[in-house]
């Protein structure tokens, strides 16, 4: 029988953008979050490295009794979600992929831009989704080299981040894209600078809410939604710096949370 505890993980703090949306939709659900910041970024690692690193976290969540695991990372989803679903058939898995479909359906110029990691673009899910929903759309893709590291370092609102983003986004705008997809969960932390660059020239699309809705649907279908008001503390684990993780949790200061190390 499935447990109603949710596990959410990412290569670092980026998955907190997904975690936040899940909390909004399921405020009483017990949730564990794991940030593998020690091994971040995953975007340029081999598929096997990504699988090996993420499997340790999945095993940990299974040991903690999580009945649903959310892979809040496009890179990990591309590399390993099918593998995990086969290996752990008793667990519900929710993954991510760039929001190519909604971008393609909403574009007026017939041109969309996607900012993501190298492994995300090489993943089968991105390729198949692009071929299915955007075959008649001009898709400008850009690997976000260095962006994950900037977010992990707490520099998302810095001029360094602005200059790097401008280098990536300006060519998209020059090609008249009117939809820009954020294909990495770290990138929504860069929204302040992204909006400075993009203004009203394009719509920014990121899929965290859609992922959270999918989590809720699966829990409802399996009668796992918790309605009790005596919410357990949200527990956060990191393989990296606790102080860095706490910095990102400041915006959630109203929540009763615990932060712990997961031993490597």
**160 and 178 housed in the same domain:** yes
**Residues noted as catalytic:** 73, 184
H-type alpha helices, 153-207: 159-174, 191-198
Instruction: Answer whether residue 254 shows pLDDT above 60.
Output: no
**221 and 148 housed in the same domain:** no
What pLDDT, on the 0 to 100 scale, is given for residue 257? 65
Instruction: Answer whether residue 48 shows pLDDT above 60.
Output: yes
**107 and 189 housed in the same domain:** yes
Range of the structural domain that residue 169 is part of = 100-206
**67 and 163 housed in the same domain:** no
Listed residues 165, 182, 206: the one ending a domain: 206
Q: Please state the separation of Cα 23 from the chain's center in Å.
A: 15
**Higher per-residue pLDDT: 102 or 124:** 102
Listed residues 206, 224, 250: the one ending a domain: 206
CB neighbours of 35 closer than 8 A, spacing ≥ 6? 9, 10, 11, 12, 13, 15, 16, 236, 237, 238, 239, 240, 245
Number of folded domains that form the chain? 2
Listed residues 160, 190, 206: the one ending a domain: 206
**214 and 90 housed in the same domain:** yes
**65 and 141 housed in the same domain:** no
| Residue matched to tokens 């969540």 | 61
Beta strands in the chain, from DSSP E residues, in sequence order? 5-10, 31-35, 66-71, 92-94, 111-116, 138-143, 179-183, 203-205, 234-238, 257-261
Per residue in 183-213, pLDDT (tens digit) is 999 999 999 999 999 999 999 999 899 999 9
**190 and 173 housed in the same domain:** yes
User: What is the pairing mode between strands 5-10 and 92-94?
Assistant: unpaired
Q: What is the CATH number for 85?
A: 3.40.50.1860
**84 and 111 housed in the same domain:** no
What pLDDT, on the 0 to 100 scale, is given for residue 76? 94
């Amino acid at each position: 029988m499935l447990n109603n505890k949710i596990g959410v993980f990412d290569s670092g703090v980026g998955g907190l953008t997904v975690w936040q949306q899940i909390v909004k939709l399921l405020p009483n659900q017990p949730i564990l979050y794991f940030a593998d910041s020690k091994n971040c970024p995953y975007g340029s690692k081999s598929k096997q490295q990504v699988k090996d690193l993420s499997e340790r976290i999945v095993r940990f969540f299974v040991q903690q009794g999580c009945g649903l695991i959310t892979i809040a990372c496009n890179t990990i989803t591309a590399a390993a979600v099918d593998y995990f679903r086969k290996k752990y058939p008793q667990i519900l898995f929710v993954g991510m992929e760039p929001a190519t479909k909604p971008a393609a359906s909403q574009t007026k110029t017939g041109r969309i831009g996607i900012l993501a990691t190298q492994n995300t673009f090489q993943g089968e899910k991105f390729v198949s989704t692009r071929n299915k929903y955007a075959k008649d759309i001009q898709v400008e893709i850009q690997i976000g080299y260095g962006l994950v590291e900037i977010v992990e370092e707490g520099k998302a609102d810095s001029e360094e981040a602005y200059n790097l983003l401008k280098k990536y986004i300006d060519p998209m705008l020059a090609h008249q894209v009117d939809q820009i997809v954020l294909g990495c969960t770290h990138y929504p932390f860069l929204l302040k600078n992204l909006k400075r660059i993009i203004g009203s020239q394009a719509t920014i699309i990121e899929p965290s809410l859609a992922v959270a809705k999918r989590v809720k649907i699966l829990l409802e279908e399996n009668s796992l939604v918790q309605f009790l008001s005596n919410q357990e503390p949200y527990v956060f684990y990191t393989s990296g710096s606790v102080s860095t993780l706490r910095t990102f949790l400041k915006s959630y200061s109203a929540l009763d949370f615990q932060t712990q190390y997961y031993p490597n």
